[in-house]
Amino acid sequence: MNSWGVISTDKELTNSEMFFSNGCNCAKLAIGEEIIVTWQPNRRCRFKHLEGYRFEVIEAENTKISVGDTFDCAYMINNEKLIIDNLCHEGVTGLTYVAGKQGGIHFERVHTDDSTQKQT
């Protein structure tokens, strides 16, 4: 285990990461990779990773954020709140949005190579 609480072996460093809290370090996602995030009540978004911690909203259902919004997010952790920072929404920049205040969020990485969705 390293100082960030991540358990891995040398082989796993290139293939996967395991967090005790079932999370994802967003900066390690591939550019163009997509994430589906859901939370209660009946909220769903699909985000496209642009680079680093930057994402674009490509689908949004029953939420205040909109398709075309961009934002920064460092980590996504299942069953925890999602902090969306530096949100650009309808031309307004520097906003912060919190999803999943009650009960947290659930995220899934979308793997387009086999057209299936798998959670990391």
Checking if the pLDDT of 99 tops 60, the result is yes
The answer to whether 91 and 106 are in contact (CB under 8 A) is: no
Could you tell me if residue 64 is inside a domain? yes
In terms of DSSP H, where are the helices of 1-120?
10-15
Q: Which range, of 14-18, 77-81, 85-89, 107-111, averages the lowest pLDDT?
A: 14-18
Q: Which domain holds residue 32?
A: 6-118
Starting at the earlier edge strand, list the strands of the sheet with 54-61: 92-99, 82-89, 70-72, 54-61, 43-51, 34-39, 105-111, 116-118
- Interval 59-96: pLDDT, tens: 999 999 999 999 999 999 999 999 999 999 999 999 99
- Interval 19-38: pLDDT, tens: 556 888 999 999 999 999 99
Model confidence pTM above 0.85 = no
Question: What is the rounded distance in angstroms from the CA atom of residue 116 to the CA atom of residue 112?
Answer: 7
Checking if the pLDDT of 50 tops 90, the result is yes
> Structural domain tally of the chain?
1
Could you tell me if residue 1 is inside a domain? no
Query: Residue 84, Cβ neighbours under 10 Å: how many?
Result: 23
Q: What confidence category does residue 111 fall into, taking pLDDT thresholds of 50, 70 and 90?
A: confident
Could you tell me if residue 16 is inside a domain? yes
pLDDT at 23: 86
The answer to whether 50 and 9 are in contact (CB under 8 A) is: no
Report CA 84 to chain centroid distance, whole Å. 9
